[in-house]
Structures are given as structure tokens and as C-alpha cells.
Amino acid sequence: VPFVDAVDALDAIDQTADPLPELPLEPDWKVQPRLWGHSLHPMCTYFGAFPAALANAFIARLSRPGDVVIDPFCGRGTVPLQACVTRRIGVGVDANPLASLLTGAKVDAPDRRTAIARIEALRLDWSHGAPAWTALARAAASDPERSLVPAPRGQPNRFETLPPAVVRAFHLTTLGQLLMLRHELDPAAIADRFLLAALAGILHGRSGGYLSAALPNTFSLAPRYTSRFVAERGVPAPQRDVFRLLAAKSVRLFRDPVPSTRGIALDGDARNAGARIGDALRARGHPERARLVVSSPPYLRVVRYGTYNWLRLWLLGADPAEVDARLETPPRPGEYAHFMRTVLASLGGVLSDDAAVVLVVGDVSTDRGRPVAEQRSLCRTVWEEAARPLGYRLAGVSADPVAAGRKVTRIWGPEAGRATDIDRILVIAPTELGRRRALAALRGPVAWDAPVGRGASGAGKPLAILGRYAADVPSGRPRGDGSAGADEEPGSRADDQPAAQLRPAAAGPSVRA
């Protein structure tokens, strides 16, 4: 035992004797309004999404207009969209079909007129087909396991059964409209993809701006819980007009002009993303190498994106279990380091000589509720066992303790926020030139009101710091930073924004939202 204690003591000394250098970075994203950013950003809530202000802090400092900016774990597309807003070419990759849908809808959006016209055309189709679609919904409600409904566009099977929890979550008329839309909307078409993404954003929530009140807007509770919740309440699902709410959502999303710089969204594994990114850039005539990567890698199985988004994935025709399997990350730090080493090696082929890589890495203390056996700085592990062996150079680290009460998971009660205790921003570079450039650039200021690219309308517009009338909030909800209204979920930041997950400044967002 004394020998073991001595080894443990040496390990502790080894982990603290050579601290990673602190970045010369002013966390100015924290003092921006919590709803800072382009109106497309809050299209749909998503676990682990950091605020647009954080993305902008690094994009503005470490890249220039015309540069390529990559996020290999793009989530809901915050980094690629912010890159496009600031006239960079944003590229997002994710193995979650919901993430690639949201990212594609943001970085290659239709103009407002096209989107609204498509909604009106779909509404007209509904006026003719309403009896048939409502009958399908009614049949599914009476016998969901035997009744067949049309599958979403592009799926291999033409028909499928409807999960009972889906039937219980919606009013019959609302369900009929959803069945029609998921069958008619083509995710390969720009306008339809945008409407699907916007529809995912209003699928469930506690206010009148959502189609189902059975679930919070942040994530989907388990199907069994959803069914039990609806049954115990004994209150029928409210009837909501999908077309009206979708049009209102679209109007809010188009408050700012669509960025004229278009980005790229790819569905796939980050471990082999480099070659696909290079091919996509060449095919579009863009620069073939990126000057910046900004990303937040998944955290040792902390979040099951398929399970927590099962209802939104149903809308897309995706299997939550298959999504979870695709997104499974290694549970141990050593295996995770190998995973990240593969990702960084793949990206190395598309990075410029003076590129910088910014990774938001969380130190994980639990694995799905169980304590992690090997508790060590995951950021240090990524640097020492993933990046350094590949020849990357270390610029530095910026730490940020987690504020558990501001996390999306706060509604889980005593278990809320226990998976990560601290997040660290790790900045590395493939060359010494890139490291020196990053250190010099991070000392500089950011013009937070700097102009952005012209939108589709051709009218220039300053970068939006969302104010009283700019937040993406359905009718009946407070706009901006006002106090919660009667129909707002307690503690939520805004209708389409998850709660902040890291140390918040008094008036601004933290690293992770």
C-alpha cells in the first residue's frame, strides 16, 4: 500500500509540475449579450452547443475573410454559420443526421421569399389532402403498432409504423400535418431542408410556439416517460397549426439577411473528414486548405445525441439507436486520445502552414452517472497523447469552471451538471509559424459591432447583437433578456436557446451553451 500511495503521489506531481501555459486571451465573449449573433443561430436547441460569441472570438482573431474555417464536430452549426456571417467559408462535419441537417440549413439557406412561398404551397396541398392525412393519424392513434404511415422522403421503405409516444405527443390534426410534411419535404432541396430544420426547432416545447407541449424544447425525454407524462396529465395535446407556426419561425430566422458567403455541411465521421473536406472545397472552387479549426469534441460518452433527440430524429426518419452507435466515443482517456489523434491526423492534410486549431475540451467526472475510474485533465490527455505525437505545437490553454445550474441538464435535479466540472480551451497549431501567429492574434481585440457580408437582399447589416426585438422567440414569450413570462420554462435563456453550461459572466454567455 505505501508503494501504491507513493506511485499515486508521483502521478499527482507529474500532472501538476508542468502546467500547460495559459493563453493571453481576454474572454470578451462573456460580456456580450446572451443572445448575441445572427438570427439563424437559434434555429434549434442542441446539447453541448457553445454560443456564437465564443466562435466569433476565435474566428475574428485567427482567420480573415475568404479563409476556410472547419468544425469537424459541428453540432447545430454555430462555427460554420458564424464563419459565413463574417465572410469566411464555414465547413461543418458531423455523424449525427440532425446536426448535418441544421448546419446545412444555416450555411446554405434559401432566401426568405422562397421559404415562405414553399410553406404556402405546402399549406395549399394540405387543404386538399387534409382528410386523408388526418385519417392516417387517427388510424395510427387507434392502433399505432399495426397502422402504416408514409415514410419520410428519401427513406428506403415507403411505409412504416408510428411509435406510440409520437401519437401521444401531438393533437391528431397536428400529427396529420407532420406526417404530410415529413413525407413531402425533400432534405436534398435547399428550401425543404431549411424548413425541416426549422420544423425540428419547433417540434416540442412548453409554450404555444411549439407543436407538442409534452416535452421541453431542449431535448426529448424517453418515449416511455413521454407516454406516461401525457397519460398522467390527462390533458389532450393542444391543436397547433404546423404551417402557421413554421411560417412564424421562418420569419424570426430571417430577421437578419442570409449570409452571402455559403458554407459546406458534410454528414460523416470526423476521423476521416480531412479528405472529404478537401474534395468538397475543390469541387466548389474554394481554397483547399483551412486557416482555422474551432470545435468541441464529444466528451467520453457524456451525451447520447440519438436518445435525447429521438423525436426530432423521427421527423427525419433516423433511428436513435443507430445514431448513438455512430456517435459512440471511447469511454477511457487513453482510447479517447487515440480517437482524437485520428481526427487531428485527418485534419492535418487540409490545414495551412499557419493554421490554428481551437478545441473546447471538458474534464469528465462521470460516465452516464458512474464515476470515471481515470480522472485526469482530458485537455492534457488530448495534447500529450493526441496532438503532440503528430507534431502539433502548443499555444496554450484557457480554463473555465462549469456552472452546473446553467446547464441544459439542470432539469435533471440532483444529477444535473455532474458529468463535466471544467472546460478548457486548447489552442494548438500544426507548425511553429501557426503557433506564433495564434499567440500574437489572441492578444488583439475583436470589433464586436464590425460589419458582416451582404445578405441575399444585397443590403449591408452590422453584426447583430440580438436586442429586445431580435431574439428568436415565439409569440407570447419575452424578447431579449426580459424576465420570464407565464409560459416560459423556468430558468431558460430564450425560446430557442439552451441554458449556458459554463462559467457565466454577470451579463453574458459562457463557453458552452
The answer to whether residues 82 and 146 belong to one domain is no
Quick check: is 103 in a domain?
no
Q: Where are the alpha helices (DSSP H) in 143-222?
A: 164-169, 172-184, 190-201
Question: Residue 400's domain is classified under what CATH number?
Answer: 3.40.50.150
The answer to whether residues 130 and 212 belong to one domain is yes
- Give the residue among 58, 164, 85, 99 at the shortest CA–CA distance from 326: 99
Mean pLDDT estimate for the chain: 80
| Higher pLDDT, residue 373 or 325 | 325
pLDDT tens digits, one per residue of 117-142: 999 999 999 999 999 999 999 999 89
DSSP per-residue letters across 310-363: HHHHHHHT--HHHHHHHH---SSHHHHHHHHHHHHHHHHTTEEEEEEEEEEEEE
The answer to whether residues 242 and 379 belong to one domain is no
The answer to whether residues 231 and 286 belong to one domain is no
Which residue, 409, 442, 475, sits at the end of a domain? 442
Cβ(337)–Cβ(382) under 8 Å? yes
Residue 308: phi and psi, rounded to 5, are -80, -5
Alpha-carbon span 283 to 484, nearest angstrom? 47
Domain count, the chain: 2
The answer to whether residues 184 and 285 belong to one domain is no
The answer to whether residues 186 and 145 belong to one domain is yes
Alpha-carbon span 49 to 54, nearest angstrom? 10
Coil, helix or strand for 433?
A: helix
The answer to whether residues 141 and 54 belong to one domain is no
| Higher pLDDT, residue 494 or 487 | 494
The answer to whether residues 54 and 185 belong to one domain is no
Cα–Cα separations (whole angstroms), residue 57 to 4, 29, 67, 240: 45, 6, 15, 39
The answer to whether residues 363 and 241 belong to one domain is no
The answer to whether residues 232 and 296 belong to one domain is no
pLDDT tens digits, one per residue of 221-247: 555 655 565 555 655 678 999 999 999
pLDDT tens digits, one per residue of 304-354: 888 889 999 999 999 999 999 999 888 788 899 999 999 999 999 999 999
| Higher pLDDT, residue 480 or 401 | 401
DSSP per-residue letters across 372-400: PSS---HHHHIIIIIIGGGT-EEEEEEEE
Residue-range definition of the domain harbouring residue 62: 29-96+271-301+330-442
pLDDT of residue 434: 98
| Higher pLDDT, residue 276 or 300 | 276
Span of 32-41, 65-74, 329-338, 370-379 with lowest mean pLDDT: 370-379
The answer to whether residues 117 and 201 belong to one domain is yes
Quick check: is 247 in a domain?
yes
Q: What is the pTM of this model?
A: 0.82
